[in-house]
Chains A and B, each alone.
Chain A
Amino acid sequence: MPLINYIEFDGKEYSVNVAEGVSLMQGALDNMIDGIVAECGGCCVCCTCHCMIDPAWSEAAGIAAADESELLEMLDVREENSRLSCQVKVTSAMEGMIVRLPESQY
């Protein structure tokens, strides 16, 4: 199980193992990490699981699909490496990945 490092906006870090095939969103929820809300449960409709993926792992995370991109585009605080964590499934290439969480999901 790859080790994923979630860093909340206030700097609080969680280093947790997330099974391959599980989304970064579910990995955060299962470890009770506050910075992810996930109102829609991972259907790519609500934009409350926003995260920023450290550029070192951007290739491993892949590229956002059209609907995800459209939602991301509308965020008030969007960064180049922004993703919806429900759309990123963990793979072995993500070992050690750093995932930063925004100040707010609304």
Chain B
Amino acid sequence: MTNDQSTVVIGGSHAAVQLVISLRQCGWEGNITVISDEPHMPYQRPPLSKAYLAGDSSEDKLALRAAGAYEKIDVTFKLGVRVTSIDTQNHQLNLDNGETISFNKLALCTGARARPLPIPGADLESVHYLRTMDDVKGIQQSAASAKTAVIIGGGYIGLETAASLTKLGLSVTLLETESRLLQRVASETTSEFYLRLHQEQGVAIKLNTQASAIEGEGSVSGVMCSDGNIVSADMVIIGIGVIPNTELASEAGLNVDNGILVNEFAQTSHPDIVSAGDCTNHPNTILQTTLRLESVPNAIEQAKAAAASICGLKKPYAELPWFWSDQYDVKLQIAGMNQGYTDAVVRGDKASRSFTVFYLKDNNILAADCINRPKDFMLAKKLILQGTSTEGQSLADETIELKTLIMES
């Protein structure tokens, strides 16, 4: 390896930060440059809808690393600059400021962007999405003078935002097109729990309700629903999912299909280009499927594999996906992926604020939603990784300790 080699990373979030740190740990001695279209040094995204929006955190605390930390490992940042195209033939990047940058190795950590909602009025002032720190600053600015808010979308981002805005003293109405919250990702028990939790906190939840237009002249006055009713609102937040940022990759001729396609070493279809984080569609050997994940643990672990690949090492990415969500005083930890489950078994009292939902398929544990149950979460991860086969009754029976289901290794 020579010192005149250079790795360029496009994107400046969780995957990018881990990738540059891991590059140095793997022995990369060449230059490292991170190009991000955001004007901020890398920050944590998960708290944006949670503690940061609710005012319990600060910009300083969001920083993934102190600014000086990157100097220690000699990484250069170009912030507020967008890469417009990748010239794979000449190993060059074209930037929107007219610059071109050469690379020997390239890492695409381009992440995802909020899915736009194409309805009239979505461009009004006080209509927000929630993906970046600047988005949240905009939300906070609107919230400072707003009394009522409508949230469009009953997924985790929508629900966390509802909790945070309620905490800020706003009166919140949440619209969900499906017949229950979290329909795509959780069991009925989990959905019902969150419905009840939010209703108890004063959030009005309208299921089976689509937003057809946002009303207002200049600023928002309300949201017109598909049933013809108008919910009045001083501000609107749209949280209907994300789109992976794959355009640069596909225009450069890389294989893309619901994400940038990579192998377990985070390598794309181009030998000098790796990719990690929310933007990838990758194989998971534990789950024996390919998937695109929106999660920090995925970004971190995949970035380690990507850095190893750049250095000519082989470090396969094979982790059990996990997620978490904070709403009010309730902490949800999710182990595994529940897709294709046939049974959902509840351990504990589902009317309380502490229980676990186990997802099974043919007596195999696929996943678990652990509500204020950190111990169950830790054990569920082990049970899933071991491929534990068990009757649902044993999981539901709290006189049987979960620990006893774990096989001695």
Which residues from chain A sit less than 8 Å from chain B, CB to CB? 26, 29-32, 34, 37, 39-41, 43-47, 67, 70-71, 73-75
Q: Scoring B residues 264 to 295 as 1 if CB is less than 8 Å from chain A, else 0, what string do you get?
A: 00000000000000000000000000000000
Task: Say whether B375 contacts A43, CB under 8 Å.
Answer: no
CB distance from B134 to the nearest CB of A (A): 19
Complex interface residues of chain B between 179 and 223 (CB less than 8 A to chain A)? none
Q: Which of A39, A43, A44, A70 contacts B297 (CB 8 A)?
A: A39
Given contacts A29-B64, A34-B25, A70-B374, contact A41 B69 (CB under 8 A): no
8 residue pairs of the A-B complex, CB under 8 angstroms, read A39-B300, A40-B296, A41-B47, A43-B324, A45-B324, A67-B372, A67-B374, A75-B378
Given contacts A39-B297, A41-B46, A46-B297, contact A30 B333 (CB under 8 A): no
CB distance from A11 to the nearest CB of B (A): 17
Q: Which of B64, B297, B331 contacts A67 (CB 8 A)?
A: B331
Residue of A nearest to B375 (CB): A70
Task: Say whether A32 contacts B73, CB under 8 Å.
Answer: yes
C-alpha gap A9/B356 in the complex (Å): 34
C-alpha gap A69/B322 in the complex (Å): 20
Q: Which of A32, A34, A37, A74 contacts B300 (CB 8 A)?
A: A37
User: In the complex, what residues of A have CB within 8 A of residue B72's CB?
Assistant: 31-32
Complex interface residues of chain B between 68 and 90 (CB less than 8 A to chain A)? 68-69, 72-73
B92 in the interface, Cβ–Cβ < 8 Å?
no
C-alpha gap A70/B331 in the complex (Å): 13
Complex interface residues of chain B between 340 and 365 (CB less than 8 A to chain A)? none
Q: Which of B21, B65, B375 contacts A71 (CB 8 A)?
A: B375
Residue of B nearest to A40 (CB): B324
User: In the complex, what residues of A have CB within 8 A of residue B372's CB?
Assistant: 67
User: In the complex, what residues of B have CB within 8 A of residue A30's CB?
Assistant: 65-66, 68-69
B379 in the interface, Cβ–Cβ < 8 Å?
yes
Given contacts A34-B25, A39-B300, A41-B47, contact A74 B324 (CB under 8 A): no
C-alpha gap A74/B406 in the complex (Å): 12
Task: Say whether A32 contacts B374, CB under 8 Å.
Answer: no
Task: Say whether B69 contacts A71, CB under 8 Å.
Answer: no
User: In the complex, what residues of B have CB within 8 A of residue A74's CB?
Assistant: 374-375, 378-379
User: In the complex, what residues of A have CB within 8 A of residue B66's CB?
Assistant: 26, 30
Residue of B nearest to A21 (CB): B61
Most-contacted residue by chain A among B47, B64, B374 (CB, 10 A): B374
Q: Scoring B residues 38 to 51 as 1 if CB is less than 8 Å from chain A, else 0, what string do you get?
A: 00000010110000
Task: Say whether A31 contacts B375, CB under 8 Å.
Answer: no
Task: Say whether A41 contacts B296, CB under 8 Å.
Answer: yes
CB distance from B327 to the nearest CB of A (A): 13
User: In the complex, what residues of A have CB within 8 A of residue B375's CB?
Assistant: 70-71, 73-74
User: In the complex, what residues of A have CB within 8 A of residue B47's CB?
Assistant: 41, 43
Residue of B nearest to A75 (CB): B378
C-alpha gap A23/B374 in the complex (Å): 21
Q: Scoring B residues 19 to 56 as 1 if CB is less than 8 Å from chain A, else 0, what string do you get?
A: 00100010000000000000000001011000000000
C-alpha gap A19/B344 in the complex (Å): 46
Task: Say whether A45 contacts B21, CB under 8 Å.
Answer: no
Most-contacted residue by chain A among B64, B65, B66 (CB, 10 A): B66
CB distance from B382 to the nearest CB of A (A): 8
Task: Say whether A71 contacts B378, CB under 8 Å.
Answer: yes
B160 in the interface, Cβ–Cβ < 8 Å?
no
CB distance from A91 to the nearest CB of B (A): 17
User: In the complex, what residues of B have CB within 8 A of residue A47's CB?
Assistant: 378
User: In the complex, what residues of A have CB within 8 A of residue B69's CB?
Assistant: 29-32
Task: Say whether B21 contacts A32, CB under 8 Å.
Answer: yes
